[in-house]
Amino acid sequence: MSTRVLTGITTTGTPHLGNYAGAIRPAIQASRQPGIDGFYFMADYHALIKCDDPARVARSRLELAATWLAAGLDTERVTFYRQSDIPEIPELCWLLTCVTAKGLMNRAHAYKASVDQNAAKGVDPDDGITMGLFSYPILMAADILLFNAHKVPVGRDQIQHLEMARDIAQRFNHLYGREYFVLPEVVIEEEVATLPGLDGRKMSKSYNNTIPLFEGGAAALRAAVMRIVTDSRQPGEPKDAEASHLYTLYRAFSTPAESAAFRAQLEEGLGWGDAKQALCERIERDLAPMRERYQDLIANPGRIEEILQAGAQKARKLATPFIAELREAVGLRTLGAAQATGKAARKSGKSARFVSFRDDDGRFRFRLLAADGQELLRSAGFDNPKEAGALMQRLQAGAADSLRADGLAYAAVLDGEPVAHGPAAADAAQRDALIEQTRQALAALGG
């Protein structure tokens, strides 16, 4: 079975060297691994939250697409698309919005940071905060859940959003009684390069300390590298390679042998000017052929559009039937289909099943549902989802004799402790019937 990995980059500016080394290059390398089903998209709806300059958004979409293609993304192997070309994404966003607690959004880091900034200024807490910023995590959840991605590589600042996507997915699964969504796993790429900019801080457009990737050609690359801040040590004086931003940048583009040689030269007294020239030459070896492809693509945007439309068509082959299934789940059915609903229809073709979910208190639970959707057992809460999963497996694997009457209700008891409880009955006869129904459901699941 392949693992679906999903990565998106917001279209708010021109890609720089840090974007390439930190996100684009590792994503392309990962897409070439066997067993990986890669989904790569340009998050242009997200761009509208951060940027109100239409020309900049439009230009960034072109430049970012050209960058991915020039850097070697194989669009025959992966699914490459623009977020705004998939209408199922905003539709799913609304379905998820309707099951997401406002309190969850109140805890989002970006929203809280904006509120804190307003408080420091002495203005209204929500001054200047749009619903786009407030609901950003739900749109991100829709990006991920529409394609049921198994793994999502993100920076540490995005971990909370992945946790929210899991919470939202669990809530939807719980409300509608089926595992519609895979719970995505966060992937933190510890080895991925975080490149320093001209001033030593993380390379970022926010700091205006970036090194251009393709724009401006080799001359712009060299001009930026020559502005990198170094210490005052003169040629001939040994340099501290580990403390040098030049060495960090060089290492991100070189083989271990090359970086070791460069380090030795610095420690032997290589001058900063010569070191910067060596860095330019090493980076240029990688970028020159890609830059040529990039410039050709920028000059032929129609080619890029064809590739993106093909990618959107490929993505929608999955998205369209899935959103139809979700519409059915929430009751947005055609009138003919609506006539077929009811208990008998729900029973048809279904069997008893376990459903796991995360409750509003943040704890993990599971339910045992009968074929008609009736709840037969609801577990206690667990801090660790693995605990809930392990008990679910034990019940499914042959613990049908664990059921015990508890007044007019009943419980599943393992190792002397009740781990799940059944509903209260009207009388003892109904309780015993429910216990027998639950026992049969567990036996059928144990198969």
How much is the pLDDT for 122?
Answer: 96
Tens digits of per-residue pLDDT, 271-325?
Answer: 999 999 999 999 999 999 999 999 999 999 999 999 999 999 999 999 999 999 9
Which value, to the nearest 10 degrees, does the dihedral of the CA atoms of residues 94, 96, 100, 106 take? Answer: -60
In degrees to the nearest 10, what's the CA dihedral of 59, 61, 63, 67?
180
| Predicted pLDDT of residue 244 | 92
At 282, which helix (H) or strand (E)? helix 272-298
Q: What's the mean pLDDT in 406-417?
A: 87
- Residues annotated within a binding site for ATP: 10-12, 18-19, 155-157, 195, 202-206
pLDDT of residue 348: 43
318-339, pLDDT tens digit by residue?
999 999 999 999 999 877 655 5
Please indicate whether residue 156 or residue 138 has the higher confidence score (pLDDT).
138
Which pLDDT band holds residue 345 (cuts at 50, 70, 90)? very low
Binding residues for L-tryptophan: 143
Q: What pTM was computed for the model? A: 0.73
Query: ∠ CA 48-50-54 to the nearest 5 degrees?
Result: 45
Give 52-68 pLDDT, tens digit per residue.
Answer: 889 999 999 999 999 99
* 300: CB partners within 8 A, 6+ apart: none
Identify which has the larger pLDDT, 140 or 369.
140
Give me the pLDDT at residue 193, please.
62
C-alpha span between 400 and 380 (Å, rounded)? 18
Q: Which residues are annotated as a binding site?
A: 10-12, 18-19, 143, 155-157, 195, 202-206
Query: HSE on the CB side for 239, CA within 13 Å?
Result: 26
Instruction: Identify the pLDDT of residue 346.
Output: 44
Give the pLDDT mean for 92-107.
96
pLDDT for 344 equals 42
CA 25 to chain centre: 17
Q: Say which range, 105-114, 197-206, 210-219, has the weakest mean pLDDT.
A: 197-206
Q: In the chain, what are the domains?
A: 3-190+300-330 (3.40.50.620), 205-294 (1.10.240.10), 353-446 (2.30.29.80)
Read off the pLDDT of each residue in 251-272 and give the average, rounded to a whole number: 95
Q: Average per-residue pLDDT in the chain?
A: 89
Element (H, E) at 394: helix 385-396
The string of DSSP letters for 113-149 reads HHHHHHHHHTS-TTTT--HHHHTHHHHHHHHHHTTT-
In this prediction, residue 288 carries a pLDDT of 96
Give the pLDDT band of residue 400 (cuts 50, 70, 90).
Answer: low
